[in-house]
Structure 1
Amino acid sequence: MGSVTLRDETVETPPSLSTGSTEEGPVPPLQSFISAKGGCILSAALAKALQQGWARRRGEAGQCLELGVRGQGAPGRRGRDAWGRYSGSVRRATANSSAAWLVQFYSSWCGHCIGYAPTWRALAADVRDWAAAIRVAALDCAEEKNQEACRTYDIHFYPTFRYFKAFTKDFTTGENFKGPDRELQTVRQTMINFLQNHTDGNRPPACPSLDPIRPSDVLSLIEKRGDRYVAVLLEDDSSYVGREVILDLIPYERIEVKRALGSDTAFLQKLGVPSLPSCYLIHPNGSHGSVSVGKPLRSFFSSYLRSLPGVRKKPSSLPGRPSREESSEAVVWRDFDRSKLYTADLESGLHHLLRVELAAHRSLAGAELKTLKDFVTVLAKLFPGRPPVRKLLEMLQEWLASLPLDRIPYDAVLDLVNNKMRISGISLTNRVEWVGCQGSRPGLRGYSCSLWELFHTLTVGAGAHPEALDGTGLEDDPQAVLQTIRRYVHVFFGCKECGEHFEEMAKESIDSVKTPDQAILWLWKKHNLVNSRLAGHPSEDPKFPKVPWPSPDLCPACHEEIKGLGTWNEGQVLLFLKQHYSRDNLVDTHSADLGGPGEGAPAPGEKQEGSRAPPEQPPADHGAESLRPPSLLPPRPRLSERSQPGLDLPLGSRAGGEGRRGAEAAAAFLGMGFSSLDMSLCVLLYVASSLFLMVMYFFFRVRSKRWKVKHHHPSV
């Protein structure tokens, strides 16, 4: 038995709001969620969010997933692992199971998870004989089909280890790993501690007692004869060798292993045990004595006991491994220009950020909510993507700013991001397409690459257009964007170890940033520092080695020598960064089909703004003159001033005159991207509601008058 890879898809349960409260607390009144600018459209979306998010009954969800039993492999390593797959689920695997479970929730893009994979594979192989008592599994939260399951189990950071006791009937999110580190020996010992914490009522039946027996019990075993060997591991109280050997011998028959503490010196002398730990073996014929092994180690004791005459492995009662199935995921390589920035990378990263990483949080409050609002504000003002994406971000920012709540369900945010109400003119791809951030194999680069690109575009955008942040509370602060990024990484970034490293770097030197240009250079320096630390790490893509960036071939002017020592020309680096992460360097060629059918896509027949192939340009000279800071973003008009779908007036072609005034008036009336049909439905709903209230008013008024006439006639 090796590790088990779980792949999950959770189905929502029917909501119920009849009680006015949920497991997470009272349901806020619907009126408090309605944005003044969103009108009935947003209130409908939030009503649905209330039903799906606040009234969700965790743990009752039906799940359908795929469990892959593996030996020493890792997901996506083709040709290295013998994979078996069969249907199952996290819930079904752990619920009322005869064995306990240790499940690692990880993300295939997380560098720390990639680096930890060899340790996890080694652990799975090391404890494969413990499977009847405790099993090891893994769930990749980066896979779309598993994302709802990871939310159900409240997984916010990767990797997260959870223990599930045997015979657990009610839903539980498991017990968090409490070890001081994640070294193999530490995890193995915490698995033993977890098994010992089971009560007699829920202890795995295949797990022998791990508690020590008394010296008198050892003597009674010596006096008995049986049909099996009895091995007694004598050890100190702090030793785990005896318990590990007991678990190692679970699948073997004709042998029983126990442990005893060697605190009684006279008892040890009577048995002739010279040192601890030692093994005292009682043979079926009644003979007994101390076992001599090369080294007093777990592996030596286990190997000796397995090799005894007549000791053999029991027929396995665990699910067998079906035929080998290789991963069908293949990397289709796409050539790209490394000097360009690609819309597909930024939007795919934004998709993962909004729909996966943030969605791991069921609700947001306090510092988390403040961080989300500030980060969305920075995105709405500085994201250099296509107009439909920018409109979505601006709508999300205005909606968040208008909510007077101190807690919101994230499902409400998801409804807007997914454009559940089909508001025209806004969209965000729900597909992942890496171009400049593609890796040579699955799990490399991808989201982490796109997140760095996003952060760089935000710092460059803040320097090029400081006026974009006017009125947000983030203006006039050169550290504002950096501090917002810092808080996002600390609070939301899934790779916990990565977030801790970023926080350490920020504490050391972020206070030295006094200008927007220094903010740009600070992030560049820290990015190179991270690359230097991760060089040679398992998460490094061999096709994209982590070397100082930009490389000499990408920016010759950025590199120079002083007295034979290579160094950076930071003035040229700054110019290069402003050019590289500018809107003018953003290529939409590979993202023409990003808004395809599905949630978040424009309506059929609707033309997407901003999907253009850039004009062919000669390779840029990276000298000082060619690297002057270009404009990152076009002027950012207010939403009411932008062209709306159906007006057939491109943003850049509006001149003065009646046509422009009429278009602006129509756009101002529609507002927030709503069509005339949307507004008509709102008006119709308002009129119908008013008529209904009037009818009810007159009905009760007439009824009240009749009641007064009937019950207040004069007495005779």
Structure 2
Amino acid sequence: MTIYYFYCLIIYFCSFSLIYTINDDNTWPWKKTNYLSRSNWSSLLNPNNNNNQHPVWFIFYYLNYCGYCKKAEPGWEAVAQYAINWSKYIQIGAYDCASGSLSIKDICQDEKYPQWRIYCPLTNTTHLAFSSKQRTIKTKPEDILIWLLNKLNNIADQCYGQQWPIKNLIEPKTKDDLDKIIPKSVNKFQLFISDDILLYTLFVLNNSKTIQTEPIYRLAKQNQITKDISIIKGIRENTGQITLQQIDSAQIMKPFVLDKNIISHFETINRKNIATLKPTLSDIDSATVWMINRDLRRGLPDLTENVKSWIKTLYTYYPGSKTMKSFLFNLNEFVKNYTTLSPNEYQTYINSTSIIKLPQLKFDHCNGSDSSKRGYPCTLWVLFHSMTVKQAILAEQNALPSDIKPSDVIVSIREFIGNFFLCEECVTHFVNMTINAENEIKSHHESILYLWRSHNVVNKRLRYEEYTNDPNWPKVPFPTKEQCNLCIQQIDENGDATEYNENETYKFLKEFYSLNNSMRIQTYNLILLFSIVIINILISNK
């Protein structure tokens, strides 16, 4: 018994000390897809090699903390697997727009994510081909690849050049015309008979390894040379004459169905990350550090007024550490002086001018079972909940200006999400969900409950989404019966709450998100557990 309780004590201590720290080089473990970063961007996409034609790149732009981006990751890996032999002409890559320096806007385009772009080696530019706005619940990896190929065919000349293997339709009326169209230097070739340029494109790319020695030309289905034949092999004899022979197209055409058995390969980290049950000041501070260094900077200079407005709101209702509160006060005073603030001016202030330095990112309550889980989105929810609680506490203390409305915090949060959060589907859901907040929130009490109900709606919608869920932190109705027995009025057969006592829930939320007390409460719990251990030791020694 004594050993058992000492083991429990060690685990409890570990829950305070084992904290996951986010690193800038934290990446998804891509296998078939080329992982692009700022350090390898130029060397991979546009190497200093004048002897070879550089390939076009299809690039998946994502955010490592975005659940909807994670849902697209296995499909993009399937695309990379399907296109593995296209590498001479098309490479498949991925770039994490949440990593590295975000003050430089030369790679990520400050748009909503996920998105897919085409990199053109001739112009050293990228072109948007498919964005999250075009995605629906029925969108398959094949659909995204079709969009990319169709876009590329429209810009191939300026993107790749005259050596692009997808050729224009030829229209010979006789074999003699064909002899004139096919260059004399070509001894072997194929004719692909189809009105569908996409099928032709796929066939050519799937034969990338031989296309230089055996080019493929496309004829319309209605032509004067072939009849009901899909693919023909052409050979120029020693005499110079061309002979044609039919190819079994059923055997040679590679089916355009991506392997649906390719699943996400996020590997489970061997060590278990233990997260604290109650949010801490570190969670709040980490959310703020992330948004200051990344999300807000992205909006400059175009969204200077929105940045100023959010920093003012954040400072007014900031529930985190005194250090961050002081930093936000100074930052608020700094941005007041600007009508237009550049990213460099903003970053220079943070890195050099400010006497208060930002802390490291450390997730306590929001520490996931692996690096792709919880993290920044979780800390944002904690921050938002804590801001509504802070507003209610200030109202109780008569410490708010008379013109402040109970809905102001929720409206500010909605504007922050709409302007700065880059997960397109997340933004759409949250903005639509809170679109009528001004009319629905009549008290500070109601503001706390409004965000709580909204969060539970999101959890319900995402509960069975594989890529947004942490198995150690299932998205169940919050709070659970174990967390607040008085809050629950009714549960279903799974033990999930279906009806709440909102007065008791309000009290619970105020306590749960009053983070100034969080460490004191956790210390009390630790002392209580230690006392239990000592008592059991004494009992076992009698």
**How far apart, CA to CA, are the structure 1 residues paired with 2:367 and 2:304?**
32
Q: Is 2:407–2:437's contact at 8 Å kept on the other side of the alignment?
A: no
**How far apart, CA to CA, are the structure 2 residues paired with 1:491 and 1:476?**
22
- Of all paired residues, the percent bearing the same amino acid is 22
- The Cα shift of 1:364 comes to 2.8
Amino acid at match of 2:313: V
Q: Is 1:222–1:288's contact at 8 Å kept on the other side of the alignment?
A: no
Q: Is 1:98–1:205's contact at 8 Å kept on the other side of the alignment?
A: no
Q: 2:518 aligns with which of 565, 572, 586?
A: 586
**How far apart, CA to CA, are the structure 1 residues paired with 2:158 and 2:206?**
23
Q: Is 2:386–2:514's contact at 8 Å kept on the other side of the alignment?
A: yes
Whose Rg is larger?
1
Higher relative contact order (CA 8 A, sep 6+): 2
Q: Is 1:341–1:587's contact at 8 Å kept on the other side of the alignment?
A: no
**How far apart, CA to CA, are the structure 1 residues paired with 2:406 and 2:187?**
76
Structure 2 vs 1, CA of residues 123 and 95 (structure 1 numbering), >3 Å: closer, same or farther?
same
**How far apart, CA to CA, are the structure 2 residues paired with 1:153 and 1:375?**
23
Look up the match of 2:384. 455
Q: 2:221 aligns with which of 262, 265, 276?
A: 262
Gaps of at least 5 residues in structure 2 are 1-23, 48-52, 258-264, 530-542
Compute the RMSD of aligned alpha carbons.
3.8
Q: Structure 1 residue 192 and structure 2 residue 149: aligned?
A: yes
Amino acid at match of 2:320: G
- The Cα shift of 1:379 comes to 1.6
**How far apart, CA to CA, are the structure 2 residues paired with 1:84 and 1:445?**
22
**How far apart, CA to CA, are the structure 1 residues paired with 2:130 and 2:414?**
27
**How far apart, CA to CA, are the structure 2 residues paired with 1:581 and 1:218?**
80
Q: Structure 1 residue 392 and structure 2 residue 327: aligned?
A: yes
- The Cα shift of 1:352 comes to 0.7
Q: Structure 1 residue 341 and structure 2 residue 279: aligned?
A: yes
1:40-59 aligned at under 5 Å gives the runs none
- The Cα shift of 1:547 comes to 1.3
Instruction: Name the TM-score, length of structure 1 as normaliser.
Output: 0.59
Q: Structure 1 residue 417 and structure 2 residue 347: aligned?
A: no
**How far apart, CA to CA, are the structure 1 residues paired with 2:477 and 2:266?**
34
- The Cα shift of 1:587 comes to 2.6
Q: 1:376 aligns with which of 304, 311, 321?
A: 311
1:651-690 aligned at under 5 Å gives the runs none
1:26-425 aligned at under 5 Å gives the runs 75-77=27-29, 89-95=40-46, 98-143=54-99, 145-148=100-103, 153-168=108-123, 172=125, 174-178=126-130, 180-181=134-135, 183-198=140-155, 200=157, 203-204=160-161, 207-216=164-173, 220-221=177-178, 229-236=188-195, 239-252=197-210, 255-264=214-223, 267=224, 271-273=226-228, 278-282=230-234, 288-294=244-250, 299=255, 333-338=272-277, 340-361=278-299, 363-365=300-302, 368-401=303-336, 403=337, 405-418=338-351, 420-421=352-353, 423=355
Partner SS, residue 173 of structure 2: helix
Partner SS, residue 271 of structure 1: coil
**How far apart, CA to CA, are the structure 2 residues paired with 1:469 and 1:369?**
28
Structure 2 vs 1, CA of residues 193 and 571 (structure 1 numbering), >3 Å: closer, same or farther?
same
**How far apart, CA to CA, are the structure 2 residues paired with 1:284 and 1:518?**
82
Amino acid at match of 2:128: N
Q: Is 2:117–2:130's contact at 8 Å kept on the other side of the alignment?
A: no
Structure 2 vs 1, CA of residues 81 and 295 (structure 1 numbering), >3 Å: closer, same or farther?
closer
**How far apart, CA to CA, are the structure 2 residues paired with 1:360 and 1:618?**
46
**How far apart, CA to CA, are the structure 2 residues paired with 1:563 and 1:203?**
60
Amino acid at match of 2:192: L
Structure 2 vs 1, CA of residues 394 and 299 (structure 1 numbering), >3 Å: closer, same or farther?
same
Structure 2 vs 1, CA of residues 509 and 395 (structure 1 numbering), >3 Å: closer, same or farther?
closer
Look up the match of 1:532. 460
Look up the match of 1:547. 476
Structure 2 vs 1, CA of residues 226 and 291 (structure 1 numbering), >3 Å: closer, same or farther?
farther
Gaps of at least 5 residues in structure 1 are 1-64, 67-73, 302-325, 591-612, 620-716
**How far apart, CA to CA, are the structure 2 residues paired with 1:151 and 1:509?**
37
- The Cα shift of 1:219 comes to 6.4
Partner SS, residue 468 of structure 2: coil
Instruction: Name the TM-score, length of structure 2 as normaliser.
Output: 0.77
Structure 2 vs 1, CA of residues 263 and 519 (structure 1 numbering), >3 Å: closer, same or farther?
farther
Q: Is 1:100–1:135's contact at 8 Å kept on the other side of the alignment?
A: yes
Q: Is 1:151–1:360's contact at 8 Å kept on the other side of the alignment?
A: no
Structure 2 vs 1, CA of residues 421 and 329 (structure 1 numbering), >3 Å: closer, same or farther?
farther
- The Cα shift of 1:406 comes to 2.8
- For residues 252-284 of structure 1, the C-alpha deviation after alignment (integer angstroms, 9 at most, x for no partner) is 3653322222245xx3xx62217xxx3233357
Q: Is 1:210–1:246's contact at 8 Å kept on the other side of the alignment?
A: no
Q: Is 2:60–2:94's contact at 8 Å kept on the other side of the alignment?
A: yes
Q: Structure 1 residue 511 and structure 2 residue 439: aligned?
A: yes
- For residues 349-376 of structure 1, the C-alpha deviation after alignment (integer angstroms, 9 at most, x for no partner) is 1111100122223x234xx333222221
